[in-house]
Amino acid sequence: MGDSMNAKELMQTVAEDRDELVGNFCEMLRISAVGPESGGEGETERAKYLTKLVRDLGFKSVEVLESRDPRVPSGKRPNIIIRLRGSSDRNLWVVTHMDTVPVGDLSAWKSPPLEPRVEEGRIFARGSEDNGQALIASLYGLKALVKNGITPECNIGLVFVADEEMGNVHGIDFLLSKGVFRKDDIAVVPDHGEKDGSGIVVVEKGIAWIEVEVVGVQTHASTPEKGVNAFEAAARFMLLALERVRKRFDLCDPLFDPPCSTFAPTRCEANGPNVNTVPGRQRFAFDFRVLPEYGLDDVFSEVRAAANDIEKSTGAKINLKLDQRADAAPRTKSDAEIVRRLSTAIEVVRGVKARPMGIGGGTCAAPFRRLGIQAAVWSTSTQTAHDANENCKVDDVIADAQVYALLFAGDNLDRN
Protein backbone atom coordinates (compact mmCIF):
# COMPACT_ATOMS: atom_id res chain seq x y z
CA MET A 1 0.00 0.00 0.00
CA GLY A 2 2.87 2.35 0.82
CA ASP A 3 2.33 6.08 0.98
CA SER A 4 -0.92 5.85 -1.02
CA MET A 5 -2.86 4.46 1.96
CA ASN A 6 -5.72 6.65 3.16
CA ALA A 7 -6.80 7.53 6.69
CA LYS A 8 -9.54 4.89 6.97
CA GLU A 9 -7.21 2.13 5.87
CA LEU A 10 -4.54 3.20 8.36
CA MET A 11 -7.12 3.32 11.14
CA GLN A 12 -8.25 -0.18 10.17
CA THR A 13 -4.66 -1.41 10.45
CA VAL A 14 -4.61 -0.22 14.04
CA ALA A 15 -7.98 -1.85 14.77
CA GLU A 16 -6.73 -5.18 13.41
CA ASP A 17 -3.98 -5.17 16.05
CA ARG A 18 -6.51 -4.90 18.89
CA ASP A 19 -5.98 -8.34 20.41
CA GLU A 20 -2.20 -8.18 20.06
CA LEU A 21 -2.13 -4.72 21.62
CA VAL A 22 -4.24 -5.76 24.59
CA GLY A 23 -2.12 -8.87 25.15
CA ASN A 24 1.18 -6.99 25.12
CA PHE A 25 -0.29 -4.18 27.19
CA CYS A 26 -1.37 -6.62 29.90
CA GLU A 27 2.04 -8.27 29.91
CA MET A 28 3.65 -4.89 30.53
CA LEU A 29 1.20 -4.08 33.34
CA ARG A 30 2.19 -7.27 35.18
CA ILE A 31 5.70 -5.86 35.69
CA SER A 32 6.04 -3.50 38.63
CA ALA A 33 7.69 -0.15 37.90
CA VAL A 34 7.52 1.76 41.17
CA GLY A 35 10.25 4.23 42.11
CA PRO A 36 12.56 3.80 45.13
CA GLU A 37 10.92 6.66 47.04
CA SER A 38 7.86 4.42 47.33
CA GLY A 39 9.79 1.23 48.11
CA GLY A 40 9.98 0.00 44.52
CA GLU A 41 12.88 -1.24 42.39
CA GLY A 42 12.43 1.20 39.52
CA GLU A 43 11.63 0.62 35.86
CA THR A 44 14.41 -1.76 34.82
CA GLU A 45 12.36 -4.93 34.38
CA ARG A 46 9.55 -3.13 32.56
CA ALA A 47 12.11 -1.43 30.33
CA LYS A 48 13.64 -4.80 29.43
CA TYR A 49 10.23 -6.08 28.38
CA LEU A 50 9.45 -2.97 26.33
CA THR A 51 12.86 -2.91 24.64
CA LYS A 52 12.35 -6.47 23.43
CA LEU A 53 8.76 -5.75 22.42
CA VAL A 54 9.57 -2.73 20.25
CA ARG A 55 12.31 -4.66 18.48
CA ASP A 56 9.98 -7.60 17.93
CA LEU A 57 7.45 -5.18 16.42
CA GLY A 58 9.98 -4.24 13.75
CA PHE A 59 11.56 -1.03 15.03
CA LYS A 60 15.24 -0.78 14.15
CA SER A 61 16.29 2.38 16.00
CA VAL A 62 15.92 1.67 19.73
CA GLU A 63 18.16 3.40 22.25
CA VAL A 64 18.25 3.10 26.04
CA LEU A 65 19.71 6.00 28.01
CA GLU A 66 20.28 5.22 31.68
CA SER A 67 20.50 7.61 34.58
CA ARG A 68 22.53 6.37 37.54
CA ASP A 69 20.55 5.77 40.72
CA PRO A 70 22.14 3.73 43.54
CA ARG A 71 18.77 3.43 45.30
CA VAL A 72 17.53 0.74 42.89
CA PRO A 73 19.00 -2.79 42.56
CA SER A 74 20.16 -2.25 38.97
CA GLY A 75 21.75 1.09 39.85
CA LYS A 76 20.14 2.60 36.76
CA ARG A 77 16.91 4.26 35.67
CA PRO A 78 16.33 3.46 31.96
CA ASN A 79 14.75 5.72 29.34
CA ILE A 80 13.81 4.20 25.97
CA ILE A 81 13.89 6.18 22.72
CA ILE A 82 12.38 4.74 19.52
CA ARG A 83 12.98 6.65 16.31
CA LEU A 84 11.48 6.41 12.83
CA ARG A 85 12.90 8.56 10.04
CA GLY A 86 10.47 10.89 8.30
CA SER A 87 10.41 12.78 5.03
CA SER A 88 11.37 16.09 6.67
CA ASP A 89 13.96 17.19 9.21
CA ARG A 90 11.33 18.12 11.80
CA ASN A 91 11.14 16.02 15.00
CA LEU A 92 7.81 15.08 16.55
CA TRP A 93 7.99 13.43 19.98
CA VAL A 94 5.51 11.57 22.13
CA VAL A 95 6.77 11.39 25.70
CA THR A 96 5.14 8.86 28.03
CA HIS A 97 6.33 7.30 31.26
CA MET A 98 6.94 3.73 32.40
CA ASP A 99 6.80 4.22 36.17
CA THR A 100 3.66 4.06 38.28
CA VAL A 101 2.55 4.98 41.77
CA PRO A 102 2.33 2.13 44.31
CA VAL A 103 -0.77 -0.07 44.31
CA GLY A 104 -1.96 1.39 47.62
CA ASP A 105 -4.58 -0.33 49.77
CA LEU A 106 -4.97 -3.82 48.32
CA SER A 107 -8.31 -4.29 50.09
CA ALA A 108 -9.74 -1.45 47.97
CA TRP A 109 -9.03 -3.35 44.73
CA LYS A 110 -11.58 -5.77 43.28
CA SER A 111 -8.74 -7.79 41.74
CA PRO A 112 -4.96 -7.91 42.16
CA PRO A 113 -3.59 -4.62 40.73
CA LEU A 114 -0.63 -6.29 39.00
CA GLU A 115 -2.78 -8.98 37.40
CA PRO A 116 -4.62 -7.07 34.67
CA ARG A 117 -8.32 -7.84 34.47
CA VAL A 118 -10.19 -7.24 31.21
CA GLU A 119 -13.87 -6.79 31.93
CA GLU A 120 -16.68 -5.06 30.05
CA GLY A 121 -14.24 -3.42 27.65
CA ARG A 122 -11.92 -2.06 30.35
CA ILE A 123 -8.46 -3.04 31.57
CA PHE A 124 -8.13 -2.84 35.34
CA ALA A 125 -4.55 -2.61 36.67
CA ARG A 126 -2.17 -0.17 38.31
CA GLY A 127 -0.71 2.03 35.58
CA SER A 128 -3.33 1.08 33.00
CA GLU A 129 -4.38 4.69 32.52
CA ASP A 130 -1.37 6.46 34.02
CA ASN A 131 0.54 6.17 31.72
CA GLY A 132 0.30 2.77 30.12
CA GLN A 133 -2.60 3.60 27.83
CA ALA A 134 -0.74 6.44 26.12
CA LEU A 135 2.52 4.49 25.97
CA ILE A 136 1.03 1.47 24.21
CA ALA A 137 -1.21 3.63 22.01
CA SER A 138 1.72 5.69 20.71
CA LEU A 139 3.68 2.50 20.04
CA TYR A 140 0.91 0.82 18.07
CA GLY A 141 0.08 4.03 16.25
CA LEU A 142 3.64 4.11 14.93
CA LYS A 143 3.63 0.37 14.30
CA ALA A 144 0.75 0.87 11.84
CA LEU A 145 3.00 3.07 9.72
CA VAL A 146 5.88 0.59 9.79
CA LYS A 147 3.55 -2.28 8.95
CA ASN A 148 2.29 -0.48 5.84
CA GLY A 149 5.55 1.06 4.70
CA ILE A 150 4.38 4.63 5.27
CA THR A 151 7.07 7.24 5.77
CA PRO A 152 5.98 9.68 8.46
CA GLU A 153 5.95 13.37 7.62
CA CYS A 154 8.28 14.23 10.54
CA ASN A 155 10.97 12.23 12.24
CA ILE A 156 9.02 10.43 14.97
CA GLY A 157 10.45 9.80 18.41
CA LEU A 158 8.64 7.79 21.06
CA VAL A 159 10.16 8.26 24.49
CA PHE A 160 9.31 6.02 27.44
CA VAL A 161 10.77 7.79 30.46
CA ALA A 162 11.55 6.85 34.04
CA ASP A 163 10.81 8.75 37.23
CA GLU A 164 7.79 10.80 36.16
CA GLU A 165 5.79 10.10 39.29
CA MET A 166 8.51 11.39 41.64
CA GLY A 167 9.92 14.43 39.88
CA ASN A 168 11.50 13.58 36.47
CA VAL A 169 15.11 13.82 37.68
CA HIS A 170 16.03 10.48 36.11
CA GLY A 171 13.63 10.84 33.19
CA ILE A 172 12.70 14.03 31.35
CA ASP A 173 15.25 16.22 33.12
CA PHE A 174 17.98 13.65 32.46
CA LEU A 175 17.14 13.52 28.73
CA LEU A 176 16.99 17.30 28.50
CA SER A 177 20.49 17.44 29.99
CA LYS A 178 21.66 15.04 27.29
CA GLY A 179 20.38 17.30 24.50
CA VAL A 180 17.90 14.76 23.15
CA PHE A 181 15.32 17.45 22.29
CA ARG A 182 15.75 20.54 20.09
CA LYS A 183 14.10 23.93 20.34
CA ASP A 184 12.28 23.61 17.01
CA ASP A 185 10.83 20.17 17.84
CA ILE A 186 7.14 19.59 18.49
CA ALA A 187 5.78 17.22 21.11
CA VAL A 188 2.75 15.49 22.59
CA VAL A 189 2.91 14.77 26.31
CA PRO A 190 -0.05 12.57 27.40
CA ASP A 191 -0.11 13.86 30.97
CA HIS A 192 -3.80 14.80 31.10
CA GLY A 193 -6.92 13.69 29.27
CA GLU A 194 -10.62 14.35 28.89
CA LYS A 195 -13.11 11.49 28.77
CA ASP A 196 -14.07 12.17 25.15
CA GLY A 197 -10.52 12.88 23.98
CA SER A 198 -11.37 16.41 22.89
CA GLY A 199 -9.21 18.47 25.24
CA ILE A 200 -5.70 19.60 24.27
CA VAL A 201 -3.92 21.32 27.13
CA VAL A 202 -1.83 24.24 25.90
CA VAL A 203 -1.26 26.19 29.12
CA GLU A 204 -1.05 25.66 32.88
CA LYS A 205 -1.37 27.85 35.92
CA GLY A 206 1.56 28.53 38.18
CA ILE A 207 1.43 26.80 41.56
CA ALA A 208 2.43 28.18 44.96
CA TRP A 209 1.93 26.36 48.24
CA ILE A 210 2.57 28.72 51.13
CA GLU A 211 3.05 27.54 54.70
CA VAL A 212 2.01 30.11 57.31
CA GLU A 213 3.10 30.20 60.94
CA VAL A 214 1.60 32.89 63.19
CA VAL A 215 3.40 33.33 66.53
CA GLY A 216 1.69 35.18 69.36
CA VAL A 217 1.73 34.96 73.15
CA GLN A 218 -0.27 32.25 74.92
CA THR A 219 -2.46 33.22 77.86
CA HIS A 220 -5.64 32.30 79.72
CA ALA A 221 -8.80 32.95 77.72
CA SER A 222 -10.31 34.93 80.63
CA THR A 223 -7.57 37.56 80.26
CA PRO A 224 -6.93 37.70 76.49
CA GLU A 225 -5.43 41.18 76.71
CA LYS A 226 -2.37 39.67 78.43
CA GLY A 227 -1.45 37.67 75.38
CA VAL A 228 -1.38 37.88 71.58
CA ASN A 229 -3.99 35.59 70.03
CA ALA A 230 -2.23 33.77 67.22
CA PHE A 231 -5.52 32.25 66.02
CA GLU A 232 -7.21 35.63 65.68
CA ALA A 233 -4.16 37.15 63.99
CA ALA A 234 -4.07 34.19 61.60
CA ALA A 235 -7.74 34.66 60.75
CA ARG A 236 -7.31 38.37 60.11
CA PHE A 237 -4.21 37.76 58.01
CA MET A 238 -5.90 35.01 55.99
CA LEU A 239 -8.83 37.22 55.05
CA LEU A 240 -6.67 40.25 54.25
CA ALA A 241 -4.23 38.26 52.12
CA LEU A 242 -7.04 36.61 50.16
CA GLU A 243 -8.80 39.94 49.62
CA ARG A 244 -5.64 41.53 48.27
CA VAL A 245 -4.51 38.76 45.91
CA ARG A 246 -8.01 38.24 44.54
CA LYS A 247 -8.38 41.95 43.85
CA ARG A 248 -4.94 42.47 42.31
CA PHE A 249 -4.63 39.27 40.28
CA ASP A 250 -8.13 39.23 38.81
CA LEU A 251 -7.68 38.41 35.13
CA CYS A 252 -9.69 35.53 33.69
CA ASP A 253 -8.91 33.22 30.76
CA PRO A 254 -11.75 31.15 29.29
CA LEU A 255 -9.34 28.34 28.39
CA PHE A 256 -9.30 27.43 32.08
CA ASP A 257 -11.97 25.96 34.32
CA PRO A 258 -12.23 27.86 36.62
CA PRO A 259 -11.15 30.74 34.37
CA CYS A 260 -9.47 32.89 37.05
CA SER A 261 -6.55 32.37 39.39
CA THR A 262 -7.56 30.52 42.53
CA PHE A 263 -6.39 31.39 46.03
CA ALA A 264 -7.49 28.86 48.63
CA PRO A 265 -6.68 28.43 52.32
CA THR A 266 -6.32 24.70 52.87
CA ARG A 267 -4.69 22.77 55.72
CA CYS A 268 -5.07 24.11 59.27
CA GLU A 269 -3.23 22.53 62.20
CA ALA A 270 -4.58 22.13 65.73
CA ASN A 271 -3.42 24.88 68.08
CA GLY A 272 -4.13 23.21 71.42
CA PRO A 273 -6.48 20.73 73.14
CA ASN A 274 -8.44 23.04 75.42
CA VAL A 275 -10.97 25.83 74.91
CA ASN A 276 -9.90 28.21 77.68
CA THR A 277 -6.44 29.03 76.35
CA VAL A 278 -5.58 31.82 73.91
CA PRO A 279 -3.19 30.07 71.51
CA GLY A 280 0.32 31.38 71.04
CA ARG A 281 0.90 29.59 67.73
CA GLN A 282 -1.24 28.87 64.66
CA ARG A 283 -0.23 27.14 61.45
CA PHE A 284 -2.14 26.84 58.17
CA ALA A 285 -1.45 26.77 54.43
CA PHE A 286 -2.49 28.36 51.14
CA ASP A 287 -2.76 26.64 47.74
CA PHE A 288 -2.57 29.22 44.94
CA ARG A 289 -3.05 28.41 41.24
CA VAL A 290 -2.08 31.52 39.27
CA LEU A 291 -2.67 32.44 35.64
CA PRO A 292 0.61 32.61 33.69
CA GLU A 293 0.21 36.35 33.10
CA TYR A 294 1.20 36.88 36.73
CA GLY A 295 4.54 36.20 38.37
CA LEU A 296 4.58 34.16 41.55
CA ASP A 297 7.08 36.59 43.07
CA ASP A 298 4.49 39.36 42.78
CA VAL A 299 1.84 37.16 44.37
CA PHE A 300 4.11 36.23 47.26
CA SER A 301 5.06 39.89 47.78
CA GLU A 302 1.38 40.80 48.10
CA VAL A 303 0.92 38.10 50.73
CA ARG A 304 3.99 39.31 52.60
CA ALA A 305 2.67 42.88 52.57
CA ALA A 306 -0.59 41.69 54.12
CA ALA A 307 1.40 39.82 56.77
CA ASN A 308 3.38 42.97 57.58
CA ASP A 309 0.18 44.93 58.11
CA ILE A 310 -1.27 42.31 60.46
CA GLU A 311 1.98 42.12 62.41
CA LYS A 312 1.82 45.87 63.01
CA SER A 313 -1.81 45.84 64.11
CA THR A 314 -1.70 42.72 66.34
CA GLY A 315 1.86 42.33 67.60
CA ALA A 316 2.00 38.77 66.24
CA LYS A 317 4.87 37.47 64.12
CA ILE A 318 3.93 35.89 60.78
CA ASN A 319 6.41 33.53 59.14
CA LEU A 320 5.83 32.54 55.50
CA LYS A 321 7.47 29.65 53.71
CA LEU A 322 7.05 28.83 50.03
CA ASP A 323 6.68 25.07 50.38
CA GLN A 324 6.24 24.35 46.67
CA ARG A 325 6.68 26.56 43.65
CA ALA A 326 6.04 25.82 39.98
CA ASP A 327 6.14 28.88 37.78
CA ALA A 328 3.85 28.68 34.77
CA ALA A 329 5.70 27.72 31.60
CA PRO A 330 5.19 29.72 28.39
CA ARG A 331 1.94 28.71 26.75
CA THR A 332 1.71 26.78 23.52
CA LYS A 333 -0.42 28.89 21.19
CA SER A 334 -3.91 27.55 20.52
CA ASP A 335 -3.17 27.58 16.78
CA ALA A 336 0.34 26.14 17.07
CA GLU A 337 1.40 23.52 14.54
CA ILE A 338 1.22 20.60 16.98
CA VAL A 339 -2.26 21.65 18.12
CA ARG A 340 -3.50 21.92 14.52
CA ARG A 341 -2.05 18.54 13.57
CA LEU A 342 -3.44 16.83 16.64
CA SER A 343 -6.85 18.48 16.27
CA THR A 344 -7.18 17.21 12.70
CA ALA A 345 -6.35 13.63 13.72
CA ILE A 346 -8.77 13.73 16.68
CA GLU A 347 -11.62 14.99 14.53
CA VAL A 348 -11.06 12.27 11.91
CA VAL A 349 -10.89 9.45 14.45
CA ARG A 350 -13.35 10.55 17.12
CA GLY A 351 -15.65 12.85 15.16
CA VAL A 352 -15.33 15.57 17.81
CA LYS A 353 -13.91 19.04 17.48
CA ALA A 354 -10.80 19.34 19.62
CA ARG A 355 -10.56 22.31 21.98
CA PRO A 356 -7.46 23.97 23.39
CA MET A 357 -7.67 24.27 27.17
CA GLY A 358 -5.73 25.15 30.29
CA ILE A 359 -5.53 23.35 33.62
CA GLY A 360 -4.68 24.33 37.17
CA GLY A 361 -2.14 21.59 37.84
CA GLY A 362 1.35 21.17 36.45
CA THR A 363 2.14 18.74 33.64
CA CYS A 364 5.30 17.27 32.16
CA ALA A 365 4.91 19.58 29.15
CA ALA A 366 6.30 22.47 31.20
CA PRO A 367 10.04 21.66 30.79
CA PHE A 368 9.56 21.31 27.03
CA ARG A 369 7.73 24.63 26.79
CA ARG A 370 10.48 26.33 28.77
CA LEU A 371 12.93 25.04 26.15
CA GLY A 372 10.80 26.63 23.41
CA ILE A 373 9.26 23.36 22.18
CA GLN A 374 5.61 23.42 21.10
CA ALA A 375 4.10 20.88 23.47
CA ALA A 376 0.49 19.71 23.58
CA VAL A 377 -0.87 17.65 26.47
CA TRP A 378 -3.44 15.15 25.23
CA SER A 379 -4.94 11.72 25.78
CA THR A 380 -8.31 10.13 26.36
CA SER A 381 -8.84 9.37 30.02
CA THR A 382 -11.17 7.56 32.39
CA GLN A 383 -9.71 9.89 35.03
CA THR A 384 -8.93 7.03 37.42
CA ALA A 385 -5.17 7.66 37.67
CA HIS A 386 -3.77 6.70 41.11
CA ASP A 387 -7.18 5.32 42.16
CA ALA A 388 -7.83 1.84 43.44
CA ASN A 389 -9.26 -0.11 40.48
CA GLU A 390 -7.49 2.21 38.03
CA ASN A 391 -8.64 1.34 34.52
CA CYS A 392 -8.76 2.37 30.89
CA LYS A 393 -11.19 1.58 28.08
CA VAL A 394 -9.86 -0.67 25.34
CA ASP A 395 -11.81 1.35 22.77
CA ASP A 396 -10.04 4.49 23.97
CA VAL A 397 -6.64 2.84 23.63
CA ILE A 398 -7.42 1.85 20.06
CA ALA A 399 -8.82 5.29 19.19
CA ASP A 400 -5.79 7.01 20.69
CA ALA A 401 -3.49 4.73 18.69
CA GLN A 402 -5.43 5.69 15.54
CA VAL A 403 -5.02 9.38 16.38
CA TYR A 404 -1.29 8.86 16.74
CA ALA A 405 -1.09 6.96 13.46
CA LEU A 406 -2.76 9.83 11.57
CA LEU A 407 -0.72 12.43 13.44
CA PHE A 408 2.53 10.66 12.55
CA ALA A 409 1.62 10.12 8.90
CA GLY A 410 0.63 13.77 8.44
CA ASP A 411 0.59 14.98 4.86
CA ASN A 412 2.22 11.73 3.71
CA LEU A 413 -1.20 10.08 4.02
CA ASP A 414 -3.83 10.15 1.29
CA ARG A 415 -6.80 12.07 2.75
CA ASN A 416 -9.30 10.87 0.14
The residues annotated as belonging to the active site are 99, 164
What's the per-residue H, E or C state across the chain? CHHHCEHHHHHHHHHHCHHHHHHHHHHHHCCCCECHHHCCCCCHHHHHHHHHHHHHCCCCEEEEEEEECCCCCCCEEEEEEEEECCCCCCEEEEEEECCECCCCCHHHCCCCCCCCEEECCEEECCCHHHHHHHHHHHHHHHHHHHHCCCCCCCEEEEEEECCCCCCCCCCHHHHHHCCCCCCCCEEECCCCCECCCCEEEEEECEEEEEEEEEECECEECCCHHHCECHHHHHHHHHHHHHHHHHHHCCCECCCCCCCECEEEEEEECCCCCCCCEECCEEEEEEEEEECCCCCHHHHHHHHHHHHHHHHHHHCCEEEEEEEEEECCCCCCCCCCHHHHHHHHHHHHHHCCCCEEEEECCCCCCHHHHHCCCEEEECCECCCCCCCCCCEEEHHHHHHHHHHHHHHHHHHHCECC
